[in-house]
Amino acid sequence: MLTEPATFLLGPDEAGTVMVPDRLDHLRGGFLVRAVLDLGLSRGHATAGNPVSSITTVEFTADGDRTFDLVVDRTLPAVELPVASNLKWVELDSPSLTRTLGRPIRHRAGVAFPPAYFDLDAKRRFWPVIYVIPGFGGDHRSATRYAAMLRDPSMQAYLPQAVWVVLDPEDRLGHHGFADGDNFGPRSTALVEEFIPWLEKRFRLVPNEKGRFVTGHSSGGWSSLWLQLQHPGVFGGCFSSAPDPVDFTAFGTVDLGSDGNLFVDEKSNPRACYRAPLTADRDHVMMTVPEEMAMERALAPDFTSGEQWAAWNAMFSGRDSDSGLPAAAFDLESGSIDRAVIERDWSRYDIAALLRADPERFTPIFRDKVRLLCGDRDSFYLDLAVERLAETVAQERSRLGSTEGPGYIELVPGATHGSIVPIAMQRWYPELRRLVAEAPER
């Protein structure tokens, strides 16, 4: 930590500067700028406690001076959590995560209650619970939305009347996915052995798998599916929408099993990572993988930005013994894929590969407990992996004679990463209302 004033020179001609775009003369017009000294307190540079400058307007013209000064002289303030009559914010020290990672780690959640939870005359004393895992960039603060819906009388016939627990999937290295790993620690184990038992005792939650359900979208969709597969006796059902790649041969537009480069295909064309539909059969590529990775590299050249690819790398990779950081599966400048890291580390989290390797273990879980929906025009190409997983599950269910069951994996025609969310709610909420109504007291 700096104790005396210091000056840092940053720019295209200054050694050690990583920037996007790589030259300021690419910029034209007015921009709002701020300097941030990221102390690594949490994911993202807009974290409370990080020193910052004021926000300043600068103008870039074709022949104007492109130098400007920023003075870091304040810190970002903490944001107060909202208060509501049916909303509680909870934290719990995690001994296992603290011990493994060597720094204080706490479980965090927002707990939203249905009105009848507080009714002394209610028929139910112990309540079923729906665990929500937010997508990338989200955290437990989205419990505010569920609390508001539960308070709304017009929503009571639509929203499943359960306790909604919105978990915090954030770490300073990014979305940890509730997966046990080298860099985030034993996140799924700590959740089911430390946090869930504590929540059940504190809030009169049903301590039974038939009263526990898990759901999530995008990165939260992957997390909810992973938790269901790893702890089938803990959760009574998983409702996952547009999960992050569930088959690593279709990791977006990259085949991690055979491709040699993350940035470009075999014809040296940049790989797409984000699209918007134009017509029934044409897309507009909004962003490529090299563009996305260039932004992450500018934020943290050591691959610790906490952004999407860095978070995946922290979640799936082992730890580099020399640096103590996640082993890099990709070269951030060239896009070259480190085959050893993929095969040694990342392969442990390839859901389709795990199913193929142990169908007797995983097929019944998919048959009985997994509901998965994804749009076939997913904005991040996540449908490619979902389609392959669906084919694998169907093959194994047929081979094992496990065709009957409530579980399914479906692609919804025309739906994107955003539009699948209301479609999934319309599909799932009636079933969840039935399941929570049938949940036992104990």
Question: What is the CATH architecture of 87-246+350-438?
Answer: 3-Layer(aba) Sandwich (3.40)
Instruction: Tell me what the mean pLDDT of segment 230-240 comes to.
Output: 98
Q: What is the mean predicted confidence (pLDDT) over 146-157?
A: 95
User: 431 falls in which pLDDT band (50, 70, 90)?
Assistant: very high
* 3-class SS of residue 235: coil
Answer whether the bond into residue 21 is a cis peptide, omega within 30°: yes
Confidence of residue 2 (pLDDT cuts 50, 70, 90): low
User: 49 or 162: whose pLDDT is higher?
Assistant: 162
Query: Rounded to whole angstroms, what are the CA distances from 406 to 100, 364, 372, 429, 432?
Result: 38, 11, 11, 15, 12
Q: How would you class 214 by CB atoms within 10 Å of its CB: exposed for 0-12, middle for 13-18, buried for 19 or more? A: buried
Cα 389 to Cα 223: distance, rounded to the nearest angstrom: 16
Domain ranges of the chain: 1-79, 87-246+350-438, 249-349
Give the mean model confidence (pLDDT) for residues 200-216: 97
- Give the model's pLDDT for residue 35: 87
For residue 257, give the nearest of 336, 385, 343, 334 by alpha carbon: 343
Please give the Cα distance from 232 to 180 (Å, whole number).
Answer: 16
Please give the average per-residue pLDDT across 292-317, as a whole number: 95
How much is the pLDDT for 319?
95
Report the alpha-carbon distance of residue 203 to residue 442 in Å, rounded.
13
Instruction: Report how far residue 348's alpha carbon sits from residue 179's, in angstroms, rounded to the nearest whole number.
Output: 11
Contacts of 277 (CB under 8 A, 6+ apart): 283, 284, 377, 414, 416
Q: Which residue has the higher pLDDT, 38 or 352?
A: 352
H helix count then E strand count, the chain = 12, 18
Q: From CA 90, how far away is CA 201, in angstroms rounded? A: 13
Percent of the chain with pLDDT over 90: 80
Tokens representing residue 51 in the block? 């020193």
Around Cβ 330, how many Cβ atoms within 10 Å? 24
Coil vs helix vs strand at 405: coil
Q: Average pLDDT of 102-106?
A: 95
Taking alpha carbons only, the member of 40, 84, 48, 129 closest to residue 439 is 129
Task: Write out pLDDT tens, residues 215-234.
Answer: 999 999 999 999 999 999 99
Tell me: pLDDT of 179 over 90. Answer: yes
* Count of beta carbons in the 10 Å neighbourhood of residue 76: 15
Of the chain, the percentage scoring pLDDT greater than 70 comes to: 99
Give me the amino acid identity at 282: R
Residue 381 pLDDT greater than 70, yes or no: yes
Residue 419: pLDDT band (50, 70, 90) is very high
CA distance 30 to 359: 57
Q: For all residues of the chain together, what is the average pLDDT?
A: 94
* Stated pTM of the model: 0.94
Reading phi first (left if > 0) and then psi (alpha if -120 to 50, else beta), residue 177 is in: left
Q: Is the dihedral of CA 386, 389, 395, 400 positive or negative?
A: negative
Q: What's the pLDDT score for residue 375?
A: 98
pLDDT tens digits for range 15-72:
888 888 776 777 888 999 998 888 877 787 778 888 999 999 988 887 777 788 899 9
pLDDT over 90 (residue 146): yes
* Whether residue 194 has pLDDT greater than 90: yes
Mean of the pLDDT values across residues 421-435?
A: 97
Residue 152 CB partners (closer than 8 Å, separation 6+): none
pLDDT of residue 64: 76
